Amino acid sequence: MDMNDAMNMSEEEFMDYMIEDYKKRPSYEEMVKNTGKTEEELVKEINTYNVKLLNLANKYKLSLKNKAAFILKLTNLEGNKESIMPLLSCFICKSDYIFNIGNRKVSVKSHKKIIEYLQLKKDICTFERYYSNISVNRKKYEGLIKEVKIKVNTSKLDMTSSTKELLCKLYNKYISKKQPLIENIEHIHQFAMGSEARQNLYPLIVFRAFTKYKSPIINKNFLINEKNIMNYKEYSAVQKYNGKNFKEYENYIYLFLELVNKFSNICDVEVCMYGFERICNLVNWIFENTLRRDIFHHTSYSLVQSTYGSIFYEKSIFWDTNDVTFDEYAKFNEINSNSNDHFLSKIQGNLSKDNKEVKDYLNEYIKGPKYIQAYVTGLAGKLFDMDKYRDKPNNPEACIYLMIEGELQEGADKLIKEEIIKFLN
């Protein structure tokens, strides 16, 4: 599936595609055969790899009892990036793998562990290949941008009728239903084709021209300013769903991806994908508002966002200690959403912008479950009159605890991602 197909799917279609794709995974026998190794050779490789991870963790005194303590300390090991990359790559691709190694060795009978390792190895290879490409594309992009700013006489460059028709069609499809002035479409194309450097960035330049000059393109002749055409543009409200901007931002991303697809024969696709994240924050919008996490992975930000999941996979202590059921929590969320998100809004509104509560929660998480429980219940008491919800039908008390913990965990994962991104940069 190419980038355009992925973006053109609805959320439901995309999930269906992911489920069907998962069902097509090869069998255990096929996976082993594809490695070109025997089961015995694979088992030896896995056990060697596991010992390597454990020795590295021990060398740098990284706790294997708590994921938060592990990753926060790892990302603060300055000057050791190359030597600890095996640990970081493993953690990012499957955060619980190293914590489940223990003292047990894998045998030829451990089919699940062999499958897990082979998938992990595949994911790590992909992650590390993408990561190594970032510095290459950064260097190329920065060199090309300098050349884009050089003034070039482009007035005599020809433009085919098919290219003219295609650009007009894309403008109408994603920017405005009004017809653009043909002279302006010609000028944009000529500017983007004006040098080899510009051709390498053709989709980016046309995208920026279409979005920067979207009204002048229709109304009057204009000249592209080569000095600022590739300046960074920050779009507002990318951090949360905004109905007003949703379609516009979605169209802008579709436009860029279709330009890359249509002009892949003249541009440097990988550099353009990297450059898109350098000229705007719309990739942030994708990760905040859609499920599509496999299109962009061309900077440290998008690579971590598209690869890393969460450290919070274990069952919350509040499910068991308060005997709350999934149905009760689902019903609580449904009622809550019908009352203007009273609880959620108050929780979000009272969490400090400097992440104080999130950091406090992480500190308690590192200590263990009973400390988590004490911190969350204490925070709940500061936000709500919990006596009103105690011993009530459908267990609203426990549901409030779970909602607070959910927000803290979301904030904690975001904080961890930021630390990983900072380390990778």
Q: What is the pLDDT of residues 209-229, one digit of tens each?
A: 999 998 888 888 888 889 999
Helix 243-262 vs helix 202-212: crossing angle, to nearest 10:
150
Taking Cα atoms as reference points, which of 272, 150, 250 lies closest to residue 206? Answer: 272
Give residue 94's Cα distance to chain centre. 15
Rounded to the nearest 10°, the torsion over CA 343, 344, 346, 349 is: 180
Q: What is the pLDDT of residues 180-194, one digit of tens each?
A: 999 999 999 999 999
pLDDT mean across residues, the chain? 88
| 354 phi and psi angles, rounded to 5 deg | -90, 10
For residue 280, the SS3 value is strand
| CA 388 vs CA 323, 330, 381, 392, 397: distances in Å | 18, 20, 11, 8, 9
pLDDT (0 to 100) of residue 90: 96
Mean pLDDT to the nearest integer, 248-254 = 92
pLDDT (0 to 100) of residue 190: 93
What percentage of the chain carries pLDDT values higher than 70?
Answer: 91
Question: How does 18-41 read in b/e, with b if 16+ C-beta sit within 10 Å?
Answer: eeeeeeeeeeeeebbeeeeeebee
